[in-house]
Structure 1
């Protein structure tokens, strides 16, 4: 766990806004004490969930997208610590490790231009290094008997999440993804658009369901690939449910769960599927925040739900006076998942 920059109690206290007569999440959240064996502490502490952040946008840049996803974790943490600790959700059920130490990768990426072919290849290599770090941390959390909650970064990190879970379970695992895109693109080098296709190709991903795919954002070649893999990769489009009204939201949740429920599965949510959320690929049309939250709660209730990953949010791309709201939404989604698993 040497690749984690630990959150300490002093830092936690600085961002927790204390108020008389209230108990905030930040007053009860567990952190790893100084000079303590992280793995032993994690395995023995009372918390059921272990949260860590990924403060990168290298995968997004490698995918020719707009950077900004590096800021989501801190924004989410600032909001999360200031919600109420009460009977509905308890801060003491959450261990916050801190964030992934990818300082060297971020520094190396700063001078690279994704529009230059050879430099984009260097970004691919940096994403591979982050993959290894993410999979290691997820693997350790699951082996400790806890449920990982991964916040921030691009959707490239789905690969590390899936690999880490699969290695911990000793077998391929499944994934459900609330997303406007498949992120199942060609294996051209690692970036935020092919985390699931690489996980599938490398044998870590058994079954994959994309929930709410936007028909206008998927190439013919990707659709052809999905058609060939129909026994292991399925999807329902946003348009089928909300525009054409050919399918029902609740029924499709049930169908998706039926497809993935027999193996441990990860719950993925890409914030660019929700209208007006600052992200690399921001949209004006998509499922509502309420439906996204219900999606997390619905799948989180199942015993095989094994991690939560919320990604692609980019608070720094919000130039309004309310740029804290992306973090506030992520905090609500984290507690929705925790309540489901309770």
Structure 2
């Protein structure tokens, strides 16, 4: 894992706000000791959940989106480190692995313009480079028998999560995606809008359910493609559930769950589905944070839940005074997942 920047115990100490009479996650979470073999330590340690950060927004830029998703990791890990360690959720269940080193790719992307057609191939190549590293790191975590919790970056990283998990399991996996967009666009070169279509085309993704599509932002072409492969790709829309009330949120979760649960599945969360959350494709209409938390808890509560990915949050695009709130939201989602999953 040459491209991994390890997170050390000293790094945790720097971001943990110690307080007399309290015990924080940052005081109990594990890290890989300096000099230790990472893969071996993963297998041996008692923590079941491995937090891994991807501080990039290259895939977002390549998909005509606003950059900023690279900033989610720093905000999230600071919030997670200061969650109370108690009987409801214990920091000792978590190992903080570190982040993917994307400095070179990010620097190259800064000099590219997605409006320039000649630059788009370079964007695609940069995303493919990130794909390769994400898939490798996720496969190592899953092979160690651990559950990855991936934070930050664009939704292009769904591809690496799915591929890495599938390679570790030796078979295709399923996925459920809480998202305003399908990310099932045509295979036109890698970006944040086609991670699932590439994973499907390359046989890493078996079944895929998109939860809460926004009807105004889903193309006829994508809808036509999905209709032809209904046995393996299905969806509902936010408009059906939240606006017209034609479908019930809880019942739809059950339908989606029954569709994906026979095999290992990834839980993909795109924060641009939540109103007023700073992201590359920010929305004013959508499901509530409470509904999202219920969603994560519901799908986390099964032995086939293979990983959790929280992406597209962009604190750098939010209000300066409250840019910690996205990190706090991610912290809630991480603990909701662990609380439901660790009971199995």
Fold agreement, TM-score > 0.5: yes
Matches within 5 A, 1:213-228: 213-228=213-228
Tell me which residue corresponds to 2:269.
269
Q: Distance in 1 between matches of 2:283 and 2:113?
A: 25
- Match of 2:328, SS state, is helix
TM-superposed deviation, 1:320: 3.8
- Match of 1:89, SS state, is coil
Matches within 5 A, 1:1-342: 1-342=1-342
- Match of 1:155, SS state, is coil
TM-score, normalised by the number of residues in structure 1: 0.99
Q: Distance in 1 between matches of 2:110 and 2:245?
A: 45
Which stretch of structure 1 is more off in the superposition, 104-113 or 74-83?
104-113
CA-atom RMSD, angstroms? Answer: 0.6
Q: Distance in 2 between matches of 1:10 and 1:145?
A: 26
- Match of 2:19, SS state, is coil
- Match of 1:331, SS state, is helix
Q: Distance in 1 between matches of 2:243 and 2:329?
A: 25
TM-superposed deviation, 1:303: 0.9
TM-superposed deviation, 1:118: 1.1
- Match of 2:236, SS state, is strand
Alpha-carbon displacement from aligned partner over 1:200-220 (angstroms, at most 9, x marks no partner)? 001100000000111000011
TM-superposed deviation, 1:103: 1.9
- Match of 2:276, SS state, is coil
Q: Distance in 2 between matches of 1:323 and 1:261?
A: 36
TM-superposed deviation, 1:107: 1.9
TM-superposed deviation, 1:123: 0.5
Q: Distance in 2 between matches of 1:147 and 1:8?
A: 19
- Match of 2:299, SS state, is helix
Work out the number of aligned pairs and report it: 342
TM-score, normalised by the number of residues in structure 2: 0.99
- List gaps (5 residues or longer) in structure 1: none
- Match of 1:191, SS state, is coil
Q: Distance in 1 between matches of 2:58 and 2:228?
A: 31
- Match of 2:239, SS state, is helix
Q: Distance in 2 between matches of 1:302 and 1:32?
A: 27
- Match of 1:321, SS state, is helix
TM-superposed deviation, 1:319: 2.5
Q: Distance in 1 between matches of 2:30 and 2:67?
A: 31
Alpha-carbon displacement from aligned partner over 1:269-304 (angstroms, at most 9, x marks no partner)? 000000010000000100000000100000000110
Alpha-carbon displacement from aligned partner over 1:209-248 (angstroms, at most 9, x marks no partner)? 0001110000111110111111100001001111111110
Which stretch of structure 1 is more off in the superposition, 103-112 or 217-226?
103-112
Q: Distance in 2 between matches of 1:176 and 1:103?
A: 30
Q: Distance in 1 between matches of 2:331 and 2:167?
A: 28
- Match of 1:135, SS state, is helix
- Match of 2:60, SS state, is helix
Alpha-carbon displacement from aligned partner over 1:101-131 (angstroms, at most 9, x marks no partner)? 1222112212111110111110110000000
Q: Distance in 2 between matches of 1:31 and 1:235?
A: 38
Q: Distance in 2 between matches of 1:36 and 1:288?
A: 42
